[in-house]
Structure 1
Amino acid sequence: MDNQSLRQAVANYRQARALVESAQAALYPTVIGAPGITRSRALGNERTSVSLQGQASWELDLFGSVRRSIEAETALTQADAAQIGLVRLATQAEVATNYLSLRYADSLQKVLNENVENFKRTLAITENQYNAGVAARSDVITAQTQVQTVQAAAIAVGLTRAQFEHAIATLVGRPPSELSLPVAFLPQRPPAVPVGIPSALLERRPDVAQAERTVQSQSERIGVAVAAFYPTVTISASGGISGLTSAGLFSPVNQVWSVSAAGTEVLFDGGARSAAVQAARAAYDAAVAGYRQTVLTAFAEVENGLAGVRILARQQVAQDAALASARRAVEITLNEYRAGTQNFTTVVTAQSLALNNEVAALQVRLSRFTTAVALIRALGGGWDVRSLPGDGELKGPRLPIDAGQAVRPDE
């Protein structure tokens, strides 16, 4: 699948990984080399001086500021990894829904074409009845109108099918002109859903994992803000060779070095550091609230999916029974019309009712399939606990799936 939204999510993940590496670099000293050469002339004398010096500085992470920053960036990287899964899952669900809608269009086309043929046979009956002098001319015109109306509806389905086909092509990253799906029909029944689904499946939902990792990142940001209240200690060293080449470049007189250690402490900042801590804690609280809302939404979507699967199955049974009755009614009224004991208006009404019930039954079947897709998406990709991700896929402490148990790190 060459989906461009998925490509964008992967690029964001690569950027986040680079930021982690950038944060890790602060754990190591910075070394600078500064070579130089000078050629000068004074009082008729020319001389050359060479400098080969290097400098190193290292800010000690005594109070964990750098380590907390690394943990924060790592959590954000894992959140971006979850975003990839979220985009992939959403795209797959959208492709599946569009594909099912396309198959619904194919099935609807078949239903309408079959009804066109049925209405043509009814038109032939009315013409025979009219030629025999037992039916009015209006019956023939009404039958013709039926055929033409359903023919127009069948033609319109072609546009709907093309739109779904083009949508699928866009989602898989191909030009619409390059994708052509053969005609096929909507299956009779969606996959069976287990009666008991473990809530642990929700832990693999990408949006839940993403929200949980965001909470972890904001928790580490609090530690970074608190570390600003403590002094920073930097060790610096420099050394090398600097002097005239005439005295011997590597002679002891040209060797220079120095080592120093310095500490800095902010004595007054007008409350900037306290405000930074408050802002970090507020951001953490917001992330926890977002996590709780994501979990609650996940539970609601699963419950909606389970209810939809159950209720639509019952509706399908009732709708199929109504369709069977409507078809029987068409057969009876058409026989009565041939016998001259029923008017054509009753036949038209019965046939329209049968067509409406047939389309409604097809729509219920589509709803059952799309609801199953929505349930699979709500569960993070399925309902088999064996397909849960491994412990190594999201490193770091995990928040409980019960959103009400999340607490602040300073509590």
Structure 2
Amino acid sequence: MHSVFTRSPARLTVAALTLALAGCASPSAYAPDTGMIPPHYKHAPADTDGAWKPATPADDVLRGAWWTLFDDSVLNALQANLQDVNPTLQAAYARLQQSRAQQREARASLFPQIGVGFGPTRQRQSPASSGDGDRGAAAHSTLWRAEGSVAYEADLFGRVASTVSAASADMDRTSALYRLTLLTLQADLANAYFLIRELDAEQHIYQRTLELRERSYQLTRVRFEGGDAAERDLERARQEWESARADALGAERQRANAEHALAILAGKAPAEFNLPPQPLTRITVAVPAGLPSALLERRPDIAAAERAMAAAYARIGAAQAAFFPRLELTGEAGFESTELSQLFNWSSRTFLLGPFLGTALNLPIFDGGKRQANADRAQAIFEEEVARYRETLLNAFREVEDNLATLRLLAPQQAAQDNARKAAERSAELSRLQYQTGTHTQLDVIDADRTLLQQQLATARLDGERARATVQLIRALGGGWDAPVPGAAATARVSAPQASTAPAPTLLLRP
């Protein structure tokens, strides 16, 4: 062994230098910095800790049909149809396919490029080039070639590997963005659906109010014709009736616009879509928030931001590798002949090892600072992506806290609103009875009816707000909730991973 080392000092020196340069070219291991993560949510209820299990779904599985929490067959049907017909989702899937193709294109650089060629070359050589003067005879020649070529870049300093890593991270980012688009559309569809149901509830309230005010108008007209009521009372009753009609038509107009928006989400033209009226019932589903750290494993926008950061980090390695030699191994072999019939004779064989022009091993010495500028730019892009990643994390925590606070405060607000509505119903009932006995004026009845209408509408709107806040909380948590077990309390439970039939992002965080 000693004799081998002593006979090859140059080879050992080159190998040691190569390893040292490779170490300089390779950046340190990628480790995303999430910053400080709170141990718990500020507005999460403290009595649900034992009722749930935090989920850590892999990114290549579906997140669960979370909309089944609401036990609404119409919503379930709309959500089931969403993935096949929505054009926004189809465009996101096409972008994912593009990213996958780009990643395969980048990976192709890891392998030798092999090609073959066949064809003639016809050449006319000028008399001056052969030394016969400008007026000498010109020589013509035809050369037939049949060749194979091989080209391969030896990735000594990780340039190709870094490029492939960046393309893979970009593909993962696009995959996470596809999941984000899917979750966003699912949440938007549920929000639009519950808005329509809220407007249906309002229309139902207006319809009952219209019937009540029409009876009041008819009663006042009878009393007016009998001389027991003034014309002012009749016109006031008519005014309240027409005002209720106008409000009902306004709610109907809003409902039509909301239905059109839902039709677009469902991938249909508004003229082809119709949703029968169905007033909203109160949503009592409780969604557990889990731990803040679970967001890193659940939310696709965090996955996309982390993968963008990983891609930018990989491109730093590619930029640093440009400072070191680049070794490209090329070769050609085949046959050349002036006659096609003699092309494949053994004597016509030819080969070329090494590049046709230049050298195999290249190292730029001076480029006016171009490589350094590229390296600085790659570093700056990485720092930008780090900032965006942390911003995404903070926004995720804020969205969860916002919806937790909304749901926490909506519960007592709805209870107080229910009490106010019941009091208004009783007050309106008493006012009508006292008006019929003559102890109250018509103005008292109208005022009581107005108050009742306001309280009923406020109750319906709070019900709609609670339904949408529940949807927004599920969206903020990254999805992944199933319907409760039949007979159990209405509390969401974490869905088991399901095999994915659609494109899926890869792991969020890598060591």
TM-score, structure 1 length as denominator?
A: 0.89
Aligned pair partner of 2:441 in 337, 343, 358: 343
Deviates more, 1:381-390 or 1:86-95: 381-390
The 1:396–1:317 alpha-carbon spacing in structure 2 relative to 1, beyond 3 Å, is closer
Which position in structure 2 is the counterpart of 1:165? 259
Where in structure 2 are the equivalents of 1:261-340 lying within 5 Å?
Answer: 262-340=360-438
- Give 3-state SS (helix, strand or coil) of 1:149's partner: helix
Which position in structure 1 is the counterpart of 2:105? 22
**Superposed CA offset, 1:188-218 (max 9, x none):** 2242223755641452211111001001100
Give the paired residue count: 397
**Aligned residues of 2:480 and 2:495 also touching (Cα < 8 A):** no
Which position in structure 2 is the counterpart of 1:59? 153
Note the C-alpha offset of 1:245: 5.0
Which position in structure 2 is the counterpart of 1:243? 337
Sequence identity of aligned pairs in percent?
A: 35
Note the C-alpha offset of 1:354: 0.7
The higher relative CO (CA closer than 8 Å, separation ≥ 6) is in: 2
In structure 1, how many angstroms separate the alpha carbons of the residues matched to 2:381 and 2:120?
A: 53
In structure 2, how many angstroms separate the alpha carbons of the residues matched to 1:385 and 1:310?
A: 21
Q: Does 1:362 align with 2:460?
A: yes
In structure 1, how many angstroms separate the alpha carbons of the residues matched to 2:122 and 2:225?
A: 121
Note the C-alpha offset of 1:39: 9.0
The 1:105–1:269 alpha-carbon spacing in structure 2 relative to 1, beyond 3 Å, is same
- Give 3-state SS (helix, strand or coil) of 1:93's partner: helix
**Superposed CA offset, 1:291-314 (max 9, x none):** 000011000000101110111111
Where in structure 2 are the equivalents of 1:104-143 lying within 5 Å?
Answer: 104-131=198-225, 133-143=227-237
Where in structure 2 are the equivalents of 1:369-384 lying within 5 Å?
Answer: 369-383=467-481, 384=493
Deviates more, 1:21-30 or 1:188-197: 188-197
- Give 3-state SS (helix, strand or coil) of 2:314's partner: helix
The 1:193–1:255 alpha-carbon spacing in structure 2 relative to 1, beyond 3 Å, is closer
In structure 2, how many angstroms separate the alpha carbons of the residues matched to 1:217 and 1:208?
A: 14
Deviates more, 1:158-167 or 1:242-251: 242-251
**Aligned residues of 1:337 and 1:343 also touching (Cα < 8 A):** yes
Which position in structure 1 is the counterpart of 2:92? 9
**Aligned residues of 1:204 and 1:389 also touching (Cα < 8 A):** no
- Give 3-state SS (helix, strand or coil) of 1:269's partner: coil
- Give 3-state SS (helix, strand or coil) of 2:268's partner: coil
**Superposed CA offset, 1:86-140 (max 9, x none):** 1111111111111111111111111011011111222244344445544323222
- Give 3-state SS (helix, strand or coil) of 1:376's partner: helix
**Aligned residues of 1:64 and 1:224 also touching (Cα < 8 A):** yes
In structure 1, how many angstroms separate the alpha carbons of the residues matched to 2:179 and 2:495?
A: 18
**Aligned residues of 1:134 and 1:340 also touching (Cα < 8 A):** no
Task: Give, as a single letter, the amino acid of the residue that structure 2 aligns with 1:73.
Answer: A
**Aligned residues of 1:201 and 1:385 also touching (Cα < 8 A):** no
**Aligned residues of 1:31 and 1:56 also touching (Cα < 8 A):** yes
- Give 3-state SS (helix, strand or coil) of 2:194's partner: helix
**Aligned residues of 2:303 and 2:508 also touching (Cα < 8 A):** no
In structure 1, how many angstroms separate the alpha carbons of the residues matched to 2:445 and 2:494?
A: 54
In structure 2, how many angstroms separate the alpha carbons of the residues matched to 1:334 and 1:255?
A: 111
**Aligned residues of 2:121 and 2:142 also touching (Cα < 8 A):** yes
Deviates more, 1:155-164 or 1:225-234: 155-164
Q: Does 1:212 align with 2:306?
A: yes
RMSD between aligned residues: 2.8
Task: Give, as a single letter, the amino acid of the residue that structure 2 aligns with 1:398.
Answer: L
Which position in structure 2 is the counterpart of 1:398? 509
- Give 3-state SS (helix, strand or coil) of 1:192's partner: coil
Task: Give, as a single letter, the amino acid of the residue that structure 2 aligns with 1:186.
Answer: L
Give every structure 1 segment of 4 or more consecutive aligned residues whose post-TM-superposition deviation is greater than 6 Å: none
Deviates more, 1:123-132 or 1:85-94: 123-132
Task: Give, as a single letter, the amino acid of the residue that structure 1 aligns with 2:92.
Answer: A
In structure 1, how many angstroms separate the alpha carbons of the residues matched to 2:97 and 2:289?
A: 40
The 1:68–1:96 alpha-carbon spacing in structure 2 relative to 1, beyond 3 Å, is same
**Superposed CA offset, 1:259-302 (max 9, x none):** 23721001011221112111111111110110000011000000
Note the C-alpha offset of 1:22: 1.2
Note the C-alpha offset of 1:36: 2.9
Task: Give, as a single letter, the amino acid of the residue that structure 2 aligns with 1:36.
Answer: G
Gaps of 5+ in 2: 1-81, 124-136, 482-492
**Aligned residues of 2:420 and 2:455 also touching (Cα < 8 A):** yes
Which position in structure 1 is the counterpart of 2:181? 87
The 1:226–1:38 alpha-carbon spacing in structure 2 relative to 1, beyond 3 Å, is closer
Note the C-alpha offset of 1:49: 5.8
Task: Give, as a single letter, the amino acid of the residue that structure 2 aligns with 1:22.
Answer: E
In structure 1, how many angstroms separate the alpha carbons of the residues matched to 2:310 and 2:141?
A: 62
Task: Give, as a single letter, the amino acid of the residue that structure 1 aligns with 2:98.
Answer: Q
More helix by proportion, 1 or 2? Answer: 1
Task: Give, as a single letter, the amino acid of the residue that structure 1 aligns with 2:353.
Answer: V
In structure 2, how many angstroms separate the alpha carbons of the residues matched to 1:13 and 1:196?
A: 30
Deviates more, 1:281-290 or 1:338-347: 338-347
- Give 3-state SS (helix, strand or coil) of 2:415's partner: helix
Task: Give, as a single letter, the amino acid of the residue that structure 2 aligns with 1:343.
Answer: T
